[in-house]
Amino acid sequence: MLYGFAKVVMWATFHIYFRRIAFAGREKIPRDRPVLFISNHSGPFLDAMLLAVLLRRPLYFYARSDIFRKPLANWILRTFRLLPIYNAGFAKEELHRNEETFAEGQAVLLGGGQILIFPEGQARLERNRLPFKKGATRIALQTEAEADFSLGLTVVPVGINYSRHAFRSDVLLQTGEPTCVSDYAEMYRENPARAMTLLTRDLDARFDPTFFYVRQAERTALIDRLLELYREEVFHPGDALRGVPVIEMEKKVCALVSDLEDAATAALTAQLQQYDRLLVTHRCQDASVTGSYRGAVWYFLLLLAGLPLFLVWWPINMPALRFFRWVADRTVTRVDFYPSVLTAVAGFGYLLWWILQITLAACISHPSAWAIALPAPLILYIGIRWWETATLFVGHLHFRRLALQQPAVVATLRQLRDQVALWRRG
């Protein structure tokens, strides 16, 4: 029950925190069989929370064992389907307990459940590919062998692709081709080590197309900005991530950046920095340069219509949102944990804030108090969208003024934008 409640809270939180969420290929996931998910790992806890919220059935997943040490934390984490994994980096003396953890995972799968494993083994913000470890393969084969290969266990790769690790970013989940573990039964009976090697290789091949990465981790900042510009070009503000082969195009951009010589990378970085400096200096938006901004009059009318709600949203919600950010700033010591902590604190913190508003409305007992308190989450969402629309609209006004007063600057912006658009190249 607590798991289901948390899932509802985080579903609402994610649809406010992220600008767009897309889950491509979800129909490939079996609904009536045990599933072992494998995924890339760029957001500690956030990756697993996203999958848990978007999947229909409960999801178990592994987490580093040191966060389970306190009894209350252990109870809470296990309630939310987390299982401890022991690593030489922070629990060397307890590595033997991984046998217990793997047994727990097998019990979940033997019972027809779902479990998530990160086969790269390490969370990081850099967009690089780490070696594929055999833990997932071992659990898959041993679990099927326990059931004499009659379980129907399926391994499903899911790539989790963030446009950036920040508020109002996009996230695309891409499902790869499933693998039926029972297909390796005969080989496993003859030679378990060979079966494990072959399955690992096959899973690696199906895992790779689901997410985009560069071969050089130090080029992460460059690729992040390029992919952000790519999405600005192919999607109008507010569009869903549909109608365009996003993953294929973004993998192409990553491959192009990976293949660049160091000198070409430095030149591209310099062009991109110059472009961004001009945007900031003249307070413009990339959407205006690319032409993806449309309908100035329509945007203006939307801003006028939504202004009353924004004026309600700002004083009611801003103190709470600032407090949640303050808590995350004071709590997090690792930058890769920040989005996970911020979303969790904001999600459950805002729920308490909403309950407080409803309680105050009940004490005041006036229709206007109820009219503000009850729809507070909806007003929050509309207020955020209003602020985004206002920022885009003001940026476009600055761009139109710049086009009239300094057309040479606009020409430079467009030229730089064309130069950094690698996806347009053959």
For residue 255, is pLDDT > 80?
A: yes
Q: Is residue 423 part of a domain?
A: no
194 and 322: one domain?
Answer: no
Q: Is residue 153 part of a domain?
A: yes
**Average pLDDT for the chain:** 88
170 and 307: one domain?
Answer: no
Residue 326 dihedral angles phi and psi, to the nearest 5°:
-60, -45
Q: What is the pLDDT of residue 140?
A: 93
Residue 192 dihedral angles phi and psi, to the nearest 5°:
-55, -40
Q: How far apart are CA 363 and CA 347, in angstroms?
A: 25
Count of domains observed in the chain: 2
Q: Is residue 424 part of a domain?
A: no
Q: How crowded is the C-beta side of 350, counted as CA atoms within 13 Å?
A: 26
For residue 186, is pLDDT > 80?
A: yes
Q: Which residues pair with 36 in a beta bridge?
A: 115, 155
Which helix (H) or strand (E) segment is 21 a member of?
strand 20-24
Q: Give the rounded distance of the alpha carbon of 215 from its chain centre.
A: 20
Q: What is the pLDDT of residue 426?
A: 59
Q: What is the pLDDT of residue 332?
A: 84
Please state the rounded mean pLDDT for residues 229-239: 78
Q: Please indicate whether residue 67 or residue 320 has the higher confidence score (pLDDT).
A: 320
Q: Is residue 7 part of a domain?
A: yes
**In degrees to the nearest 10, what's the CA dihedral of 45, 341, 353, 10?**
-20
Q: How far apart are CA 74 and CA 113, in angstroms?
A: 21
pLDDT in tens, 284-341: 999 899 887 766 667 777 788 888 878 877 888 888 989 999 999 998 877 878 888 8
Among 211, 229, 245, identify where a domain stops. Answer: 211
320 and 189: one domain?
Answer: no
Q: How far apart are CA 55 and CA 76, in angstroms?
A: 21
183 and 78: one domain?
Answer: yes
Q: What confidence tier does 29 reach under pLDDT thresholds 50, 70, 90?
A: very high
Q: How far apart are CA 389 and CA 387, in angstroms?
A: 5
CA R_g for the chain: 24
Percent of the chain exceeding pLDDT 70 equals 94
| Nearest C-alpha neighbor of 35 from the set 144, 191, 196 | 144
Q: Is residue 21 part of a domain?
A: yes
Residue 370 domain boundaries: 296-405
Q: Which residues pair with 35 in a beta bridge?
A: 114, 154
Q: What share of the chain is helix, strand, coil (3-state, %, to 5)?
A: 65, 10, 25
Q: Please indicate whether residue 307 or residue 222 has the higher confidence score (pLDDT).
A: 222
Q: How far apart are CA 391 and CA 342, in angstroms?
A: 23
Tokens of 267: 């030149």
Least confident of 47-61, 224-238, 391-405: 224-238
For residue 358, is pLDDT > 70?
A: yes
Q: Is residue 425 part of a domain?
A: no
| Nearest C-alpha neighbor of 163 from the set 218, 219, 228 | 228
Backbone dihedral region for residue 57 (phi beyond 0: left; psi -120 to 50: alpha; all else: beta): beta
| Nearest C-alpha neighbor of 206 from the set 111, 140, 123 | 140
Q: Is residue 418 part of a domain?
A: no
For residue 106, is pLDDT > 80?
A: yes
Q: What is the CATH number of the domain that holds 85?
A: 3.40.1130.10
Q: What confidence tier does 260 reach under pLDDT thresholds 50, 70, 90?
A: very high
190 and 313: one domain?
Answer: no
Among 161, 178, 211, identify where a domain stops. Answer: 211
Among 178, 211, 244, identify where a domain stops. Answer: 211
CB count within 10 Å of CB 163 equals: 22
pLDDT in tens, 404-419: 999 999 999 999 999 9
Q: What is the pLDDT of residue 94?
A: 66
Q: What confidence tier does 40 reach under pLDDT thresholds 50, 70, 90?
A: very high
Q: What is the pLDDT of residue 312?
A: 79
For residue 75, is pLDDT > 70?
A: yes
| Nearest C-alpha neighbor of 258 from the set 316, 196, 214, 302 | 214
Tokens of 407: 């057309």
Q: Is residue 162 part of a domain?
A: yes
306 and 174: one domain?
Answer: no
Per-residue b/e over 317-330, b at no fewer than 16 CB within 10 Å?
A: beebbeebeeebee
Q: How far apart are CA 210 and CA 206, in angstroms?
A: 8
DSSP string, 186-212: HHHHH-HHHHHHHHHHHHHHHHGGGS-
68 and 185: one domain?
Answer: yes
91 and 204: one domain?
Answer: yes
